[in-house]
Amino acid sequence: MSDQQVDQGKRTWLIATGCAGAVGGVATAVPFVSTFAPSERAKAAGAAVEVDISALQPGQKLTVEWRGKPVWIVRRTKEQLDALKSNDADLADPNSDRKAYPIPEYAKNEWRSLKPEYLVVVGICSHLGCSPSDKFQAGPQASLPDNWHGGFLCPCHGSTFDMAGRVFKNKPAPDNLEVPPYAFLSDTKLLIGEDKKA
């Protein structure tokens, strides 16, 4: 037998207080560590948005929110697509060469989109941040040129954009509408905010 007697009461007390301390430490640490995780609001602010476009008919627009901004998805008609080339001479930046809003590689084309039929742009004017109005009907109208082929009119200062979101010359808006990163998950599903399949 050992020279020292084991005090069973003391041993039990030490084990119990040690366990209680460990539980209390974990209970205190969990809420503290969880504050490092982004909030739901923060996740939503930068998270990609999945959009069902199956009900979108030619000539219609759908608006979704991404990072607190309106994103327009327009299903263009054949006539609207055919008219795009005729606007080039009247546009400030027909090829989207300006760098204020770098355009994704897949949108460096006449349609500024992955698929010609679908336009995806941030619906905020590059002048002072107003949201342009739809003016999809072609032909002469108030505040629009007589050879209007359809597009958008910013009500704040009169900037006009064609059906590819390109700004016309001699308007206050300095740049075309921004093309956000996006990808087609299928023929009827879009992912706004990422340009690769999730």
Catalytic residues: 157
Nearest to 125 by CA among 169, 167, 94, 97: 167
Taking residue 160's Cβ as centre, other Cβ atoms within 10 Å add up to: 23
| Angle (nearest 5°) at CA 173 between 168 and 179 | 85
At 63, is the secondary structure helix, strand, or coil?
strand
Amino acid at 152: F
DSSP code for 59: T
What is the DSSP annotation of 30-43? HHHHHTTSPPHHHH
Residues linked to residue 20 through DSSP beta bridges, in sequence order: none
What is the SS3 assignment for 124?
coil
SS3 184: strand
